[in-house]
Structure 1
């Protein structure tokens, strides 16, 4: 609870700093506040993995929530390090950007810690409303306005599905508490049909938020129209939060064999569609940002593997994959921001010759692409390996083969930018990479390699 209060108060403090024109203090205060919140998060770590509930069991703090909350805070910290002078180019009201991002992070912490479905809904709404504003915060940019409107309409639609699903789960079990729902399933000789409908609608609502196919149609336009820094936040921290919510709901309440016979085939179909649509469509993209948007859909498909093969190891698999994807994506978006600032657009041709003029930027982006593609000795390979191992352990052989074939397709479009940087010549000037960008790039690259070589470094945390 102290983490949620700290981040909320930090958001209000930043807003007041903006009111009193302390523009230079906004970013340092935000980063220091996030470090304090990170320390408070780790303060809840328990080697015995005991749980501590508050508000009569509405929120539950254990190592699972600590790990995902810490990942969200660290990711937000790295993304905000890229924001120096970024928001100033968009608007004179910079404090509002940091404040809304912090409020979105507050909702994400609630999502990672909920033990009552009403708190899941509250957390998702806090996060979603903040993201609607952030997406359209470039008021004079028509693409940003269009993205915000699409995101708002689709987000409201998906929230309706989720809320209806939660209502049906409550109607059948008589409780919003995850443990009580599990007890209902265990004690019922015949589970109510509306309970199955509630599961299906909840899956649809959460898949909308994650951007899984066929509920992905808002993702490319929103990711492309939103400011790049906000796109980085949405494609990493938000996806991590949604899958933390997915995992907690299914592992605690819906893990019985009877229920798995119902929802596992649904998730298999969704995972297959996400892999197919995300990878095939990404091949035809000519712009780097839109390619990342479509590839994020395919990564949702891989993350669904941990739910399909639900076990005690699923939380570690999701956490490691989310960490690997998040770190690699932050590198990719940081490189994109540097290129966009000088060239003005994100066409693949604008990466031509980057390897000669900016060796550090090209090297870090190459490692990012290799990790996203799942090449060995990177964190992305370990993440995919854990997902495939889990699926094979539950005898989803056909799905695993299908995923491997799609991963090969992914190697093709990820390596396009590597080929452009090292094997295509272009008349270009050296890109100016700020010091704080270099810090984020180097730290994220080292983390990608360390996790790829020593996966137990974070895989054994939960």
Structure 2
């Protein structure tokens, strides 16, 4: 629980640093704060325990989820220099909000009490609403922020109603006690509250991870938000959301598997169909990755459907593989698009990647490996991520679901290769792209991580 304390304090410190005349200290200070939070997170390794009046729990699994969240945040912040150099930007506020949002994300991975889950979701969500519309000159971003806020508010209300129903059924917000009560004989009234509560709680959480049919906000918000915050949204928010979904279903509601697995598998199939079919026709790189995010939500739901003692490991590995590839892809887009303006904002179409291999072989290689990993091609982390979630679904006998998932993976290969073809097989305009050494290190790290986990997947799986 130490990262929560660290980031709560450092978020306030970051706001005060904003009063300094020079803004150059904000980025290194924020990176240092997140690094300290990451190290403090490891203190509880192999030392499980309850904190804050038994409302939060630290376990090795929650520590791994928190580590992925903090690592993703560190890498994304490290790529943010180009955005905060804008004269209209407010870097102190941005970095403080990112640190506060991490507090909410960590609460979602460690909650032992449904009230803490709700607070975590709200801290994370409110920060994202603000950051989505942070570029006031961008009307599309303002529209995206309003759309995200309105739909997110409805989803939060539904989730809160579900929590109320669960309290009415179990008379407790503690998720472990709720499981104990599920194993006891009940009256005719409690199951009604229970089923409604589980359904509404899942709807609220599935909205956060952009699973169909609660995905309609995703393409517009991803496209309208500044790319740096889109990257944060598609990695940190998704990891926290799936950590919460897995935790609540595994700890509390695994005895009700026969009730909720039909709903979850239906949403997984919808996510795979809608996202992959729609992504094929996209010309915007960000919208393509938005539908990609929806499809990966579907794949990760397969691990939940195949709930077993290895499902947590599978979601951890998939989250890390997806985060590394996504940060690489958006990192390349930020560099390539920043000087190619259309109507005053960066050109984010796939065509902007044309001829990238000639202008920057390094960026082209980073892009290619990230796309291959997202597509699940062997020797990348994405291949093993899909393999593990498919294996989890197969362990429950859901072979028919795997047939659909594999078919949709084949569709995904088509649109993931579009950026690679643009970078290597098409001619583009513009001069050679110059990168700072620090930017190269960050993108080199994410790319090497995708390859390393593709070659040695047990590096993560054996931690639990």
Deviation of 1:90 (Å)? 5.8
Between the aligned partners of 2:251 and 2:185, the Cα distance in structure 1 is: 16
Deviation of 1:459 (Å)? 1.4
- Structure 2 partner of 1:96: 93
Runs of 4+ in structure 1 off by over 4 angstroms are none
Alignment of 1:209-358 (within 5 A): 209-256=208-255, 259-344=256-341, 345-358=347-360
TM-score by length of 2: 0.97
| Structure 1 position 203 matched with structure 2 position 202 | yes
Alignment partner of 2:435 out of 433, 436, 439: 433
- Structure 2 partner of 1:415: 417
Alignment of 1:3-402 (within 5 A): 3-46=3-46, 50-89=47-86, 91-189=88-186, 192-256=191-255, 259-344=256-341, 345-402=347-404
Q: Deviations over 1:278-325 (max 9, x none)?
A: 101100000111100011000000000111001110110000000000
Deviation of 1:63 (Å)? 0.5
Q: Deviations over 1:4-23 (max 9, x none)?
A: 11111111111101023341
TM-score by length of 1: 0.97
- Asked if 2 retains the 8 angstrom alpha-carbon contact of 1:60 and 1:115, the reply is yes
Which range moves more in the overlay, 79-88 or 243-252?
79-88
Deviation of 1:461 (Å)? 1.8
Q: Deviations over 1:239-280 (max 9, x none)?
A: 000000001100000001xx1111001011100000000101
- Asked if 2 retains the 8 angstrom alpha-carbon contact of 1:111 and 1:123, the reply is yes
Distance 1:92 1:386, change over 3 A: closer
Between the aligned partners of 2:68 and 2:159, the Cα distance in structure 1 is: 25
Q: Deviations over 1:37-77 (max 9, x none)?
A: 1111011111xxx5200122100011111111111111000
Distance 1:309 1:7, change over 3 A: same
Deviation of 1:435 (Å)? 2.2
Gaps of 5+ in 2: 342-346
- Asked if 2 retains the 8 angstrom alpha-carbon contact of 1:338 and 1:432, the reply is no
3-state DSSP class of the match of 1:60? strand
Gaps of 5+ in 1: none
Between the aligned partners of 2:358 and 2:51, the Cα distance in structure 1 is: 55
Deviation of 1:2 (Å)? 2.2
CA RMSD in angstroms, aligned pairs only = 1.1
